[in-house]
Amino acid sequence: MTEFVHKPYEKIYVRDMIKLSLDDLIGMMSSLDSANAYWVDGVLFASFAMTESEELAKKEMQDQMYLDKIVFAVYEKYSKTVKSSTNLEIGVLNMQKSKLYKDLIKWLKVQSIWNE
């Protein structure tokens, strides 16, 4: 039988964090192919990986990930969809049970950008 091993990343490097208004986040997400945002602990967000390369693949094998950016907005209560003031609507995926995303949002909330 195949052996399965769960091994989380040891480090995730985030190149940019962008705090947006809810309307701006919805507008940006609605223009993408997959118009879904994630929600965890009062934060609506999306993360974008860097363009894949052989070097990044090697880093992944060493339990490291590089994110190009995280865009986020404060959104206190989870809902399956969210609408902008101009009636754009996107889907929202509740990732509350993901340890990785919970840790990400916990880390994000102590960064200086959180209070901007």
**SS3 annotation, 54-105:** HHHHHHHHCCEEEEEEEEEEECCCCCCEEECCCCCEEEEEECCCCHHHHHHH
**Per-residue pLDDT tens digits for 59-78:** 677 778 888 899 999 999 99
The reported pTM is: 0.86
- pLDDT averaged per 10 residues in sequence order, the chain, 116 residues: 90 94 94 85 91 70 82 97 93 96 96 94
Per-residue model confidence (pLDDT) at position 56:
64
Written as six digits, the tokens of 15 are: 């190149």
Domain chopping of the chain, boundaries: 11-115
Contact 75, 42 (CB under 8 A): yes
Contact 44, 38 (CB under 8 A): yes
